[in-house]
A and B are shown apart, each in its own frame.
Chain A
Amino acid sequence: MSLNTSILSTETLEYMRPATEVMRLARMGCGHPTRLSFLRVLLRRLASSDWKIDRPVWNVDANGVGHGVYRVKSAERTYSLVAFAHDLPPEMRSDRVIATAWDATFTLFDGEPTAEDIARLADNVPYQEAGRISTKELTLARANRSVRLFEHVVNALAQGCQPDPAEIAAVGYLMRTTAVYGSGKFGASDRADIAQRPELAAPFQVEMLTVWLIRAFTVDIVEHIATARGGKTAVKLDRDIRRSLGVGNSTGLGMAPFIVRHPVLLNNWMMAREEALARVRAQPTARSQAVSDLSAALDAAITNARVWHSEHPIQVCKLDELRHDLALLSTTLNTWDWKGEHPWDALWSWGVQTLTFEGQEALLSLMLEPHGALVDDLADHMGADEAASFRIDGAMPVAELRRILETHYAWALAIDFTSPENVARFWYVSEEKLEPRLGERATEDGATLEQPLCIARLMSELHAAVQSFDGTRSVAALMLAHPEHRFAVRRVQIAKRHPYAEVQDNLIAADMLPIDLLRCKLAFFGASQFDPRSDRWVRINLFAGAPFPDDIKAGGAV
């Protein structure tokens, strides 16, 4: 799966967008969720296979404090979300990773927890980073209430009324997660130990399952507190309102380095998405069902863009562009010639010539939407066996390494690193909180402890080294003479076989926006309604509009 060019076919090759176009931050920062996003992959599996979902335990008092268990069970496996509900004073509520208490805490248990397991988890999960979980657990997560909407909904339901749709639309979720840890963090099961299970092969499936079950919990806890408060007067949340709710998520700088640290994984995500677009464009004709499905998807996107709020100036501008572009697309589709040659490719070409990056990337998502049968198999290629590309090919001649460097990193070698604005920032890890941060090189100390996220500059330095090294000698010899370039050499050899492995921009430039890295990753998760809170902090919504456990089988196509 590492050499992912195996998913490509010659018929689609001419329709693939080159990495020089796709892997630019300005475009990655306009990413939209698609049907290949990881939460969609999860929902399709849950809807189509024999998974049974229920809530065997609900031990919550009138103040909304206690625990519940949500169970997802197939013939082979059971996964259980253990949810702990807390009573959190407002002054302790913070979305930062460095908070110490939350409204609710969660773990996804691998199997069905015993009473002893629950007792052990109750001693650890509420403390998050200061607790410890085991290889029986797959994730660790926590969430805080949206104070405004949570209270509004509880009050309304307790009084026998439904909440105000305007309030619902303004926030979009009852709780937002502030961290969902997997992959062996805090003693949890390692990814390598579960990645071979079919239902977990796609990236971030345990994390997505955790968040989807948290979404069910957020509604259950609201209805529970409303009933405790209102007694017989209280009502359940209207099913259409419920469906519109997602789970919020707050994500900061700490997640930005992820896609830089996992080049093979990033390549495989991008490659799958780009191959999907190419397959759609390569179709010689358009099916009428696909055309009407596109129209429905566009209507949903227009609605989504209408309720999507942000106060951040950059996002306000992007939202204007998106709304304008979607309206233009809607008008254009009214008279689009679907009988012409390669009509999907023609539509794409129209979009590239007409729309902003926001509009183009939204169009990509819309064009994939009617084509599940054509593209959904690509989700099976989005995981990565990173160990398979870890070893350095020491027998490669240095001249060949140089050729790859000059071909795949021409964008990096073109940057002038003697210019202050091109080295304005440095990535580092804070001693105090051990979280990744971005410093200003001219005014802050610590640049000598820079993290290796300045890929373009590392490549520029490697290039200088190989220029003065005998090209007929081996990379192994280069590594003995220049161990400081081992990190960069590994990436160059990865890039040779993984064209979409690198973000082709300078990650330490003065004008670099970390939220672009965040949005790219979060769009692959399936997030919608990106709301930057600064240039390095973003709120999103996950699973809004998706089915709940009790209606996923009847919920129609996902």
Chain B
Amino acid sequence: MSFEPQDQTRGDSTPFFGDTEPAPLSCNEAASLCMKAARGAGMSWGMAEEAGFAAAWLVSHGIDGPSHMRAHLERADGRDWADLCPSATPGDWQNAHGQPACPIILGATMCDYADLPEGPNSGATVALGPVSAPILLVPFLVELAHSKSLAFTLSWPEGAIRIDNDETWLQAALQSLGVPQLVLTLSAKAAQPHKPSAASMPNAQTTAATIAALNAFAMRTTVPATEASRTGAGSTLSDND
């Protein structure tokens, strides 16, 4: 990379944090940084938008989504779509190659299938197989729970959590799901329609190391400068008038 770490002339809101200080990002910053990083790590633009959505949702719910995103992208970097995507068949969504699924692709695809027979409908139990950074799946499941009035039980060999309308389960989810990988099964039941809660919590903070790592992925989407690109960027006239 050709820029100085403290170069304030870069037209972006990439924050400058030292190694040890807390790094609070707005949801907009978290979404923007994670979207670019996901694109840099190989996701399509449309899927990278889903990554931005998931990271910002977690930040707004007090969970350091960007750090989980970073951990996942470092594992998924360079892997083919076929090794990351689920197979959407009724009851079995495991990756066809037996690889750990990308939680963003899995979550977005489950939302795509919300109103289809293969999807997570009431009464269904779906084997998800191994899932990378499973906490990143939560924002998608919460959206599905709200839009379809469902309650989900997400289980793995050592435990289970219930994802339903009140979000008191979130901290428990962080404990259980904030791990590199779990082999998951999802079951869905009908639930009361969601009532939005007025309570808001402070945004989660992330770390300088996470921001640096995500930035390294994001920088892969940028183009090195040339003299032509520099001269074409601004006014052709003086600003001292």
Residues of A at the B interface (CB closer than 8 Å) are 90, 93-100, 127-130, 132, 134-135, 144, 146-148, 181, 183-193, 250, 252-254, 311, 390-395, 428-435, 437-440, 443-446, 449, 452, 474-477, 479-480, 483-490, 533-534, 536-537
Contact = CB atoms under 8 A, between A and B. Distances in A.
A175 to B, nearest CB: 12
A438 B230 CA distance: 11
A429 B233 contact: no
Interface string B66-97: 00000000000000010001101000000000
Contacts of A479: 108-109, 112
Contact of B234 (A96, A132, A148): A96
A486 B49 CA distance: 9
**Interface SS of B by simple majority:** loop
Contacts of B86: 480
Given A394-B114, A434-B12, A147 B222 contact: no
Contacts of A390: 49, 53
B45 A99 contact: no
Contacts of A490: 46, 49
Contact of B27 (A134, A184, A439): A184
Interface in B202-241: 203, 219, 221-226, 228-230, 232-237, 239-241
A483 B234 contact: no
Contacts of A132: 15-16
Interface string B14-32: 1110000000111111000
Nearest to B225: A432
**Interface SS of A by simple majority:** mixed
Given A95-B239, A394-B114, A446 B224 contact: yes
B197 interface: no
Contacts of A128: 8
A533 B236 contact: yes
Contacts of A93: 239-240
A434 B228 CA distance: 16
Contact of A190 (B26, B85, B221, B228): B26
A483 B44 contact: yes
A476 B200 contact: no
B223 A445 contact: yes
Given A253-B233, A437-B232, A484 B44 contact: yes
A98 B239 contact: no
Nearest to B12: A434
Nearest to A478: B112
B225 A430 contact: yes
Contact of B112 (A130, A444, A475): A475
